[in-house]
Chain A
Amino acid sequence: MSNLLARFKLDRADFSLDVDLDLPARGVTALFGHSGSGKTTLLRCIAGLERAPGGYLALDGEVWQDANIFLPTHQRPIGYVFQEASLFPHLSARGNLEYGRKRADSRMDRTTLDPIIELLGIGALLDRRPDQLSGGERQRVAIARALAVKPRLLLMDEPLAALDLARKQEILPYLERLHEELEIPVLYVSHAPDEVARLADHIVVMRDGRAVAAGPLTETLARLDLPIHLGEDAGVVLDAVVAERDAQWQLARVVFADNPDAGVWVRDGGHALGHHVRVRILARDISLAVTRNSGTSILNILPGVVAELADDAHPAQALVRVNVGGAALVARLTRRSAHDLGLTPGQIVYAQIKAVALIG
């Protein structure tokens, strides 16, 4: 039973939480929603930092909370990364890591910290005090500290939210390495679609204290009936493999994992052939045509079949899901265009993709 079962009900004056989740205990699961949607409260309930009487929580069948049991936070095999790094100011970076290592469930000697220090690139920072570190460095130490207790579940509460854009860009590569190399499941709270697109395998969409959608990231983002509007961030994320590199034009062709016949050209990011990458294609960057256009600057034009049409947030706009081989794309059109083209499910269209972001 490799899963995390979480059932919580909380009623506060200004807020209520009511979730019943069965999450996969592997990979990165994003708890995604706007601020105030209850994602942090849910994470705190899972950590035992918040008490939700009557709740139920079990990891791999091991019960942490039910009607009779409430494991206090310090007895749960978790690692927790707060929004602000929350390092102990009286200890050096190394002291902070050691604090966790000494208290880990299984006795570990000093060297067990080495791979963690290496993973987060903090070797040169160890003797500094928290107030001598930049915001990004502090957060990397905080992540390392959370891993130093050898957790079986890593909980991250918007670890990038308190950082400016440059610091975010500094940390994201480390989080991606974490994603690739970490064997334990991660719950990652975020309100930023770009972070979720880069890091998550699964997604739970939260709104008003409820989980309104949950599932694998690629499938869930391709849904047109997502109960929260992503606005300009609406779009799909696809797993892909580098299949071809064009040295003359500095381009690489990545093919979708689900269907190697379909693929797109992207800027060559220096990845080797066969390397797994993720691409993100926003709905606003796709236009549809019923005939294949020539004489266009658009490089990526994929034939596909209209699967579904739906209204977008603004009444002038519509979202269209197009199946391109096994992969699903979502395009945003004006409703007038959809009407003029006479789009209906089953129709063959050409998806003209203006921009593809290579992430991770």
Chain B
Amino acid sequence: MGFSDADLAAIWLTLRLAGVTTALLLLVGTPIAWWLARTRSGWKGPVGAVVALPLVLPPTVIGFYLLVSMGPNGPVGQFTQSLGLGVLPFTFAGLVVASVFYSLPFVVQPLQNAFEAIGERPLEAAATLRASPLDTFFSVVLPLARPGYLTASVLGFAHTVGEFGVVLMIGGNIPGVTRVVSVQIYDHVEALEYAEAHWLAATMLAFSFLVLLALYTLNPTGRRR
């Protein structure tokens, strides 16, 4: 027994999706988390709540609204069509966009915590040493927030690997394009192929455990002074 070609395609697709999504999330999440950590604006509450929504909403709700807005008649769909990109649902790109929304809090919140933990003083010290704000961000904030980035990357990646509802709503079930591991397992079970389902499911279980184990043992939280 082992993995079929379809299984391997699903695994490869899942890793690709999670990798691209995590990379995008770190890029998008950094300014959001920085703003949330530093702002005194009244918008901090509402923005923080919106970012956290995927934590509590059923994935089908997020998937549904993304589907509607990215569809041919939705605002995002109109926009992508005007750019000549077509519509995003049932494509890999659509899956990436949906995953970014779905995993956003898992990246933003660790980053925000890391930024807040740095505090004001290192930034002030850097300013008195002639570092501009941008210079300070790269030379002081990023190195000090490294544990936060590790946590954010691992959580963002693992959470994307584990999504199912959003994928089904946005991506459907197209082999090699949108059929990720979780969907593949679902298919196996539907077809009563329990052995195949076991292989994939056990792999997922082991992967998730190892990722979290690495996170908890490698991350030096609390050891810094």
Contacts and interface: CB of A to CB of B under 8 A. Distances in A.
A105 B128 contact: no
Given A73-B124, A131-B225, A145 B144 contact: no
Given A49-B124, A88-B122, A100 B130 contact: yes
Given A88-B122, A88-B140, A89-B144, A79 B225 contact: no
Contacts of A103: 129-131, 135
Interface string B193-225: 000000000000000000000000000000011
A80 B128 contact: yes
A234 B130 CA distance: 40
B224 A89 contact: yes
A104 B224 contact: no
B121 A90 contact: no
A86 B140 CA distance: 12
Contacts of B6: none
A90 B127 contact: no
Contacts, number: 66
Contacts of B128: 47, 49, 73-74, 78-80, 146, 149
Interface of B, helix, strand, loop or mixed by DSSP:
helix
B139 interface: yes
Contacts of A90: 140, 143-144
A293 B163 CA distance: 96
Interface in B134-152: 135, 139-140, 143-144
A80 B224 CA distance: 24
Contacts of B126: 74, 88, 99
Nearest to A91: B143
Contacts of A346: none
Contacts of B73: none
A4 B91 CA distance: 66
B132 A99 contact: no
B91 to A, nearest CB: 41
B28 interface: no
Contacts of B225: 89, 130-131
Contacts of B122: 86, 88
A86 B130 contact: no
Contact of A86 (B125, B131, B132, B224): B125
**Residue from A72, A84, A86, A130 whose CB has the most chain B CB atoms within 10 Å:** A86
20 contacts: A48-B127, A72-B127, A74-B129, A74-B130, A74-B133, A74-B135, A79-B128, A82-B125, A84-B121, A86-B121, A87-B125, A89-B144, A89-B225, A90-B143, A99-B126, A99-B139, A130-B225, A145-B129, A146-B129, A149-B129
